Structure 1
Amino acid sequence: MTSAPSVQAAQTPDLSGLHAFDLRVGKWKIHNRVLKARLAGSHDWLQYDGAQTWWKILNGLGNVDDTRLDKPGDAYSGATLRAYDPKTGQWAIWWLDGRTPTGKLDPPMLGRFANGVGTFYSDDSLRGKPIKVRFIWSKITRTSAHWEQAYSPDGGKTWETNWISDFTRIG
């Protein structure tokens, strides 16, 4: 005889795979801490707020956000596109930065969620030198979330966290 799933199991959101970002849909206030100089031995951080709106696309296989960052003296907007590949279980994440006149689409970050934490990697460059980039999404709940960006100049042996964002739901 098979027992029915418990009520608690039915109410617990699936924070892996396709549904990993479902709780992010909505409107958010962002508090950012950004390292003033990246991969330069800096320990000086700039703090500022922002706002973000997320929605699902492609029948849930993707999502988009529209982000405003109120960086002092250089406020700007950007957008993120995320797409899930059900065959590989990976997400691809692209950032479109509104500070470039034609919009620069960064290389995709690729990764997945395990135990409620999403880890994503990409190759990029900084000041003409190759680097690895890492995003970590964690603590995603109905009312909050945490994101970090880190760079590695040595192929992923060491990482410098250079951007930390904490999100609070506002709608």
Structure 2
Amino acid sequence: MSASDFDFFHGRWHVANRKIDDIPGRGTAWVEFEAECDARPLLGGAGIIDTITAPGWEGMTLRQYDPAADVWRIWWASTRAPGHLDPPLEGRFTDGHGVFFGDDVVGGHEVKVRFDWTTGASPTWRQQFSYDGGATWAENWVMTFSRA
């Protein structure tokens, strides 16, 4: 693991999204939509920021590598929660697969959050929630990226 783990993600992307429509209510209806993403390095390569734009909303992710702890931290914000920066997730990459964990409150419910990143020509990001302390996980959002 190193500060270059997210180098694969620099640049412009088309994003195919598949997402549970109503996560706070623990909905089950999946929606699909397209988005655009622009990711760039910062802080001498030890950080990366991206913006993602879809019809009706915009999001932003900040990732920063902490060499002392040997972890990446990931923060998320979007126009769906103005003025709110989600608590960070922490994790690392092993053999092209990144796993990141954190705690949040979604729809008034405490939830454990997991991000899975798979690198390669078409990187994929998956989000999962656990409402039982991590005993079980339910996938609720998948983004598949292709170069713009």
- Do both proteins adopt the same fold according to a TM-score greater than 0.5, normalized to the shorter chain? yes
- Asked if 1:50 is matched to 2:39, the reply is no
- Asked if 1:38 is matched to 2:16, the reply is no
3-state secondary structure, aligned to 1:112:
strand
Listed one character per residue, the Cα deviations across residues 109-151 of structure 1 (whole Å, up to 9, x for unaligned) are 111111211111111112222110000001x12x321000000
Aligned mate of 1:144, from 111, 117, 122: 122
Structure 1 CA distance for aligned equivalents of residues 71 and 111 of structure 2: 21
Structure 1 CA distance for aligned equivalents of residues 126 and 29 of structure 2: 16
What pairs up with 1:71-86 in 2 under 5 angstroms?
A: 75-86=56-67
TM-score (norm 2): 0.93
What stretches of structure 2 of length at least 5 have no aligned partner?
none
Query: Displacement, 1:38?
Result: 2.8
Q: What residue is the counterpart of 1:59 in the other structure?
A: 44
**One-letter amino acid of the structure 2 residue matched with residue 77 of structure 1:** E
Query: Displacement, 1:97?
Result: 1.1
Q: Identity over the aligned pairs, expressed in percent?
A: 38
Compared with structure 1, are the counterparts of its residues 56 and 133 closer, same or farther at alpha carbon in structure 2 (3 Å cutoff)? Answer: same
Structure 1 CA distance for aligned equivalents of residues 28 and 70 of structure 2: 36
- Asked if 1:156 is matched to 2:129, the reply is no
Listed one character per residue, the Cα deviations across residues 36-59 of structure 1 (whole Å, up to 9, x for unaligned) are 233756442100000000100000
Aligned mate of 2:96, from 116, 134, 145: 116
**Higher share in helix:** 1
What stretches of structure 1 of length at least 5 have no aligned partner?
1-15
- Which is further off, 112-121 or 32-41? 32-41
Contact 1:124–1:130 at 8 Å: present in 2 too? yes
Query: Displacement, 1:35?
Result: 1.1
Q: What residue is the counterpart of 1:4 in the other structure?
A: none
Could you list the runs of 4 or more consecutive aligned residues of structure 1 that deviate by over 3 angstroms after TM superposition?
39-43
Aligned mate of 1:131, from 111, 114, 123: 111
Question: Which of structures 1 and 2 has the bigger CA Rg?
Answer: 1
**One-letter amino acid of the structure 2 residue matched with residue 105 of structure 1:** L
Structure 2 CA distance for aligned equivalents of residues 126 and 39 of structure 1: 6
Contact 2:97–2:117 at 8 Å: present in 1 too? yes
3-state secondary structure, aligned to 1:47:
strand
- Which is further off, 117-126 or 40-49? 40-49
**Higher share in strand:** 2
Query: Displacement, 1:29?
Result: 0.2
3-state secondary structure, aligned to 1:59:
helix
**One-letter amino acid of the structure 2 residue matched with residue 109 of structure 1:** L
- Asked if 1:94 is matched to 2:75, the reply is yes
TM-score (norm 1): 0.81
Q: How many residues align?
A: 148
- Which is further off, 124-133 or 54-63? 124-133
